Structure 1
């Protein structure tokens, strides 16, 4: 057992921080500083002192977290929140709305929300929204309350907003008091949310770019702590690359306009069952009309009969109408898959692949349908064909690797390694690439795919290295 194991256990027990891998380097530095400041050298003595001295423990924790953040990080989610979701909640008659930044670090995230709300609602923003934030690191909370920042914090903030809301201060920049006094900062431990004296429930909880510090068991416990703090119809937002890692069954994962968030399961909105048929204009291949077609497919409740009616002979249509119908039917197949109508989706996709056997969109969807039908060998063929046609199809590489990792196919670690490595390579080169898909959006967001691929690639690399070592391979 490592000499530092008792310290790791204490930190994990109190704060949930997972101090393995690269985090151990921070732990070594923090322990060295602790020994120098206390004169204690034995681990048991350090644990005893940290347990009894809260101030010392808080300072120790400050050295274990990487408070790397900046203004307007992952702006797509913040834009959706400020310009779409919150106005909808206000229109429904809910005000004021409460926003809480959990694990706020030095304050850039809640202040970013404050700036964006002020931009949209002006002076009224402070009466329409309450903003609070919390972190277990008392030192970064003190920094957040001061609202003074250096250059790197502004790397994603527009110069106009920086000029509008900040003024020079001793070689750095200070946030104007109007916003600084609006945000209420408080100590907050994600593992003991009920002891934090938070008032009321929150319409928005931001839990972004924080969960990287926690293992799955701890993330589930954190969701269980945050769930009672989430108001009815409230949303919990995680970081882009953390979304799937936080889909743990406590809250339900929901998507809107390409943004993923969590809600209480009973709060998710079901689309209306019946909507009138909408005729698309002739140029239905444009991105705007494709989005409209996807909306139709999402809103209409397709049954087996409806899917059968859509199975028209495309070859009998003029080229423009053939392309339009193919795209519409592909969206219908996608929606059938989302509704778990796998047999109907499979039948429709097979008809589409007869018409266009090299359609990357249809091949990827057909592979996903085959997976859910427990036909991994069929899924394998679809994904391999998609990669043959479009080597840049990272969704096919990703799901091919998943067939091995999940045990759906007899595991081939080398093939699994190559597939995950392809995902990482392709998404490093082009972080928002659609993977060769022309009609549907990637089934998993690129950021999530890269995050998971890197994680699983690390696991398989370690396993292969261990195997090679045990076999005497150099």
Structure 2
């Protein structure tokens, strides 16, 4: 069946750039079956219809996009934008015309609405005059939901309760953004690979394109970068997801590091006064930088694929077997990597209820809870598992991350040190250990840990992690780049007078 999907996958990639592999192929198959029933056609008859009918292909794409998001996701980037980048724009340009901001790939609207709330918090009543915010997405169905501004409690896992109460009204079991703020965002269809873009959608000062490029290959990302450059005014900001930095450094924009975060700039006027090109030590030429950036983001999982099942004897027809628990665990991890956490949560609950793969299911459940900031419940699950398996690498790394996310750097340091003790080639553990030591102002320890991670990664395209199931979406090229940059900064950090604690 998957061979029969190839022409459909090629058509969708040509239309909007989406890569449909793995479980995304299953979504495509189900969507095509639904379309075939609606049109009363055979599957093979759908292809020419899709090729000739743009409305039909748009409806199909609406069933294929991943719309897992929540309010104030990667909030540190929004804080950088509201506290540093936008004030710089206003100082340079003045208050007129207003700053025009686009959330590209806005999904169900949480990102542009988060931005509107953040602007209201920073500028009060002036925000309505100073800023114009738009959201654009491929998915026409999800845009209808975005315009409603109606959300379940699941969308608020990154929102402090006082903030939700201030800006949202109860609507049964849901919450709806209050009309004055809801009406500040305009939504429209946006296909960044479309041949033409209306003129009114090419005049942006800031574009957020976060956690979207992971669904595109390098050639498609380059085309999209050029389109975004056309849509930005001569001086503008482009902000991508924090894990997508190097994969989007393709020579179209200038990469800038500020306040520990990365973003891109078009033009020179908006560069910070202290700007220096963040060129890594080991990748000095532009050609080498681009070569490192050509690998799409991928997870750092060490699990090998299971062999394909043997075909049934010739002439014998069998129903497709139910997926095994281990296959379901792999599927759950892939859903988490694809940010489909709601479906992953449902599958985890099914596994736990059935008593299958309990250790893995508990760990993945703790990962989900941690990402929802339910840290006490997440730590309880991890620590219960560590009482049974005190040397399980995945659990130790997750324990360290849960403490790190709460800025409990001493506790995080202990967990990561234990992890690298039992698995010295676990480069994510070395990398996270370096980060928490850096945050804890232990420069010498941070430098040693960064160098250890660097040694593990050096010259190895598939450097092992030792991790079984933890869904770390760390891009190797990004990590190499960040390590070299941080080592360069640490080299110029004065050694503290007091000896650092090991």
TM-score, length basis structure 1? 0.61
- CA deviations 1:220-256 (Å, max 9, x no partner) are 0000111011123311000011111111111121111
Given that residues 207 and 237 in structure 1 are in contact (C-alpha distance below 8 angstroms), is that contact kept between their aligned partners in structure 2?
Answer: yes
- CA deviations 1:79-108 (Å, max 9, x no partner) are 010111111211223331110011111110
Query: 2:463 is matched with which residue?
Result: 417
CA RMSD of aligned residues (A): 3.8
Residue among 166, 182, 191 paired with 2:184 = 182
Query: 2:42 is matched with which residue?
Result: 41
Whole-angstrom distance in 1 between the partners of 2:455 and 2:261: 21
Once the two structures are TM-superposed, the CA of residue 417 in structure 1 deviates from its matched residue by 3.3
Given that residues 23 and 64 in structure 1 are in contact (C-alpha distance below 8 angstroms), is that contact kept between their aligned partners in structure 2?
Answer: yes
Given that residues 108 and 143 in structure 2 are in contact (C-alpha distance below 8 angstroms), is that contact kept between their aligned partners in structure 1?
Answer: yes
Alignment of 1:231-242 (within 5 A): 231-242=233-244
Given that residues 235 and 263 in structure 1 are in contact (C-alpha distance below 8 angstroms), is that contact kept between their aligned partners in structure 2?
Answer: yes
Query: 1:155 is matched with which residue?
Result: 157
Change (3 A) 1:438 1:214: closer
Alignment of 1:34-433 (within 5 A): 34-43=35-44, 45-95=45-95, 96-192=98-194, 194-264=196-266, 266=268, 269=271, 393=449, 396-398=452-454, 400-405=456-461, 416-418=462-464, 420-421=465-466
Whole-angstrom distance in 1 between the partners of 2:463 and 2:146: 42
Whole-angstrom distance in 2 between the partners of 1:426 and 1:12: 26
Change (3 A) 1:269 1:52: same
Given that residues 18 and 216 in structure 2 are in contact (C-alpha distance below 8 angstroms), is that contact kept between their aligned partners in structure 1?
Answer: yes
Query: 2:9 is matched with which residue?
Result: 8
- CA deviations 1:313-342 (Å, max 9, x no partner) are xxxxxxxxxxxxxxxxxxxxx99959969x
Whole-angstrom distance in 1 between the partners of 2:284 and 2:255: 16
Higher helix share: 1
Change (3 A) 1:169 1:246: same
Change (3 A) 1:13 1:92: same
Q: SS at 2:200's partner residue?
A: coil
Change (3 A) 1:422 1:253: farther
Change (3 A) 1:208 1:193: farther
Once the two structures are TM-superposed, the CA of residue 264 in structure 1 deviates from its matched residue by 2.5
Number of matched pairs: 324
Q: SS at 1:69's partner residue?
A: coil
Whole-angstrom distance in 2 between the partners of 1:265 and 1:124: 27
Whole-angstrom distance in 1 between the partners of 2:272 and 2:132: 29
Whole-angstrom distance in 1 between the partners of 2:263 and 2:483: 25
Given that residues 254 and 268 in structure 1 are in contact (C-alpha distance below 8 angstroms), is that contact kept between their aligned partners in structure 2?
Answer: no
Once the two structures are TM-superposed, the CA of residue 393 in structure 1 deviates from its matched residue by 2.8
Once the two structures are TM-superposed, the CA of residue 394 in structure 1 deviates from its matched residue by 5.6
Given that residues 187 and 196 in structure 1 are in contact (C-alpha distance below 8 angstroms), is that contact kept between their aligned partners in structure 2?
Answer: no
Whole-angstrom distance in 2 between the partners of 1:189 and 1:159: 35
- CA deviations 1:111-160 (Å, max 9, x no partner) are 00000000111111010001111111100111111110111111101111
Structure showing greater radius of gyration is 1
Whole-angstrom distance in 2 between the partners of 1:423 and 1:402: 22
Given that residues 208 and 238 in structure 1 are in contact (C-alpha distance below 8 angstroms), is that contact kept between their aligned partners in structure 2?
Answer: yes
TM-score, length basis structure 2? 0.58
Moved more, 25-34 or 127-136: 25-34
Q: SS at 1:83's partner residue?
A: helix
Whole-angstrom distance in 2 between the partners of 1:64 and 1:438: 36
Once the two structures are TM-superposed, the CA of residue 30 in structure 1 deviates from its matched residue by 1.2
Once the two structures are TM-superposed, the CA of residue 53 in structure 1 deviates from its matched residue by 3.2
- In the alignment, structure 2 segments of 5+ residues that lack a partner are 286-430, 435-444, 490-502
Q: SS at 1:191's partner residue?
A: coil
Change (3 A) 1:33 1:89: same
Moved more, 65-74 or 246-255: 246-255
